[in-house]
Structure 1
Amino acid sequence: MSNQSMKSQFLESLRSKQTGVRIFSVVLFVSVIAFVLYHGTKTPVMLTADGETTKIYTHATTVDELLTAQNIDYTKYDKVSPSLSTSIDSGMSIEWEQAKEVVISVDGNQSKVWTTENVVKNILEEANIEVTEHDLVSQSLDTEVGADNKIDIQKAFQLTLVDGKKERQVWSTSTTVANFLKQQEVQLGESDRVDKGLEEVITPNDKIAVVRVEKVTDVVEESVDFAIEKKNDSSLLKGKEKVVSEGKKGKVERTYSIVKENGKVVSKKLASEKVIKKPKTKVVSVGTKVVTANVSRSTEPSSGKEFYVTATAYTPNCAGCSGISAAGLNLRANPDMKVIAVDPNVIPLGTKVWVEGYGNAVAADTGGAIKGNKIDVLVPTTSKAKSWGRKKVRIKVLK
């Protein structure tokens, strides 16, 4: 091939390469311009997703399109601000918070909720679950829910607690009597008891009674009655008694074991006793002397203490009379007996006497009006009593 031909081919090849370069440059230029134009028309926004904020550029026209473009798979429970239909504006801030599933158990009954809230109190409010100050919640209301996303609630109910003598209404979330007493800080003594079994399950409006049992020892000094010894005395009229020596009570120390329930004594047993002072026996003489009355008249005795008395008469059937004399004689059965009523301080009962105009008699009766130097003579009939009347007579006290 000639030099001229080779030169022509070289020039043609060079021109072809230059043309290709020019075309590539044009395509590159157009691509850069298109890229710049494409990205230059994007709208800048601030996107916060689950707490992390990123600045992005987008051609999306709504919040919904933006989230879709960012491959964010949101649900109806998620929190999006502003709303999905809101138009995109330059520089706007968009927040997306993904909802989580929280399990809430109320007295063992579980329910599931989707929420974007983190604080326990807010989660419960959103789920329309009301808790009171007496309810037991597994976590503090003001803290964030735990990593397991579970909230356990035990609802409180009201019941009556009787502790000894004190009764009050209380709230409880306990299931057994033992847990309830522990929750109420009720301590049981060694002898105390509860009216229900400690493992028994409590229910609303129950009444739990704690009986406070107290065992004490009481030492007291008590008096002991004296014995009475009676001895027959033939010098005393039958039916009469005379104290020979006064009795005196003794003293003993007794120890009692006492059981109290709620302050009231329910048991008192004598544990031991010790005599401190022995009692002194009272001795009494009992009269055995029987008085007899002589119904015959006799002449005036030659001896005896003599003095004058005012004499009246009465019958066995007089008003207020029992028919039995002070010395025990049956006057109604023996109305003709010679008996006089006397003041025992002047003429002792049982004394034999002679009465002027009446004869021998025995002092065997008394009377409310017979005081001092006065006597009342027994006659069988009212007419004889009236006939006797009231007169001063001479009397002799015989041996």
Structure 2
Amino acid sequence: MKNLFSVKLGKGKVLFLVACLLLAGTGTAYGAHELTKQSITISINGKEKTIRTHEETVAQLLSDLGIRTRAEDHISPSLNTKIQDNMNIVYDAAIPVHLTLDGKEKTIWTTDQTVGALLKNEKIDIGKHDQVTPGKNDKIKKNMDLVVQQAFQVSLNDGGKDKKVWTTSTTVADFLKQQELKLKKHDKIKPALHSHLSKKSADVKITRVEKVTDVVEEKIAFDTKHKKDRSLEKGKEKVLEKGEEGKLKKHYAIVKENGKVVSKELIKEVTAKDSKDRLVAVGTQVSKKEPKASPAVSRSNESSGKEFYVTSTAYTAGCVGCTGRTSTGFNLKANPGAKVIAVDPSVIPLGSKVYVEGYGYAVASDTGSAIKGNKIDVFVPSKSAAYQWGNKRVKIRVLK
């Protein structure tokens, strides 16, 4: 033994021996250090791994792993929790979502997995008619743009019909597009298309305007011309040519609002057919049997009478409001064949003898409340004759 330990070692061998002893000591220390570490399982944003650590708290561990936490992050257990062997730690980093709610923007940091979960946690109630883009079932993504438009009711009057409509539109133009309502060229809308819509201002009125041209056909009355005929007895007439009514087309510009006519303007008149004059022969032959003192009007009186056109109607002795006697006392019921006309005395003096085309010679013996100015009412024996006469323009001659 003495010889063994007394053996002299070279300098190099001594250094090698010292190095081996140091290495053995370091290995022993490292092994002891590793044996004191805690073994934990950590899930980071869904990815799980097992590590060993000497950190005392969850916060220190995450910091050691280079993770900077936010208040919105999901960390379980909490940051102040002490590390224990075989502990399970979950860390989900919050991500930003850009939320626009009824036009107002803000950024939300969240760990929610779906849009619906985020809205619930933010206490944003979504109604039946509200719009959420993307949908509530879509998954949350980093820097996602989330738009929530809460619906409100609009009072819509379209063409006079009222109804309530739910919408998320913020302008009148967008509202019409959303509701698939189209305006025609002349339609009116209040408020204007660019106007803003909101819960406080949600009344829309559409007036449906229609502009059309209407053509109305009217008759043109024919004139009656007289021709003296010496072969006919005085007072008699003979129709030589029948008159024909013409046709006049009146064009009207009509404006309708919600189906009701609000304006009607005559824009032009077109004669579709000219009227044809009626030619009547008037007898001038004086009967030989007629006494010289005959009250009949002489030819000279006929030619010197005043001629002009009047509007004429017809009446009977039994018409509504009639007494059967003229204003001068003549009994019409007792004389159904009498030739009598009602006149305006300021135009045709009562008692005047008047020649009326289509009626013959008559006496101005009556007046009427509706007979004013150039208007006369001819007496006829029956209602059918009155209807047949109608309302027409005729030429008369007041005999002197």
TM-score with structure 1 setting the length: 0.54
Alpha-carbon contact 1:256-1:272 (below 8 Å) kept: no
Residue number in structure 2 paired with 1:186: 181
**Is it true that 1:266 corresponds to 2:271 in the alignment?**
no
Cα deviation code 1:146-170 (max 9, x no counterpart): 6545544444332222232443322
Aligned counterpart in structure 2 of residue 116 of structure 1, from 107, 111, 117: 111
**Is it true that 1:211 corresponds to 2:207 in the alignment?**
yes
SS of residue paired to 2:180: coil
The amino acid that maps onto 1:271 is K
Alpha-carbon contact 1:78-1:98 (below 8 Å) kept: yes
Shift of 1:42: 3.6
Residue number in structure 2 paired with 1:257: 253
CA 1:258–1:57 in 2, change beyond 3 Å: closer, same or farther? Answer: same
Residue number in structure 1 paired with 2:39: 44
RMSD: 4.7
Shift of 1:138: 5.5
Q: Give the alignment of 1:1-399 within 5 angstroms.
A: 13-14=8-9, 24-60=19-55, 63-64=58-59, 66-84=61-79, 85=81, 88-90=84-86, 93-132=88-127, 134-137=129-132, 139-144=134-139, 147-148=142-143, 150-204=145-199, 205-224=201-220, 250-268=246-264, 269-276=266-273, 278=275, 324-326=329-331
Shift of 1:79: 0.5
User: Alignment length, in residue pairs?
Assistant: 287
| Structure 1: stretches of 5+ with no match in the other structure | 1-7, 237-241, 292-319, 329-340, 346-399
CA 1:54–1:23 in 2, change beyond 3 Å: closer, same or farther? Answer: same
Q: Percent identity, aligned pairs only?
A: 32
CA 1:97–1:321 in 2, change beyond 3 Å: closer, same or farther? Answer: closer
Cα deviation code 1:306-338 (max 9, x no counterpart): xxxxxxxxxxxxxx999934379xxxxxxxxxx
CA 1:179–1:22 in 2, change beyond 3 Å: closer, same or farther? Answer: same
CA distance in 2, matches of 1:162, 1:81: 57
CA 1:229–1:195 in 2, change beyond 3 Å: closer, same or farther? Answer: farther
Residue number in structure 2 paired with 1:308: none
Shift of 1:133: 5.1
Shift of 1:173: 3.9
Shift of 1:272: 3.3
Cα deviation code 1:241-295 (max 9, x no counterpart): x998798765444443332222222233353333347377698x9xxx979xxxx
| Structure 2: stretches of 5+ with no match in the other structure | 228-232, 283-293, 297-323, 339-400
CA 1:88–1:249 in 2, change beyond 3 Å: closer, same or farther? Answer: farther
Higher-Rg structure is: 1
SS of residue paired to 2:117: helix
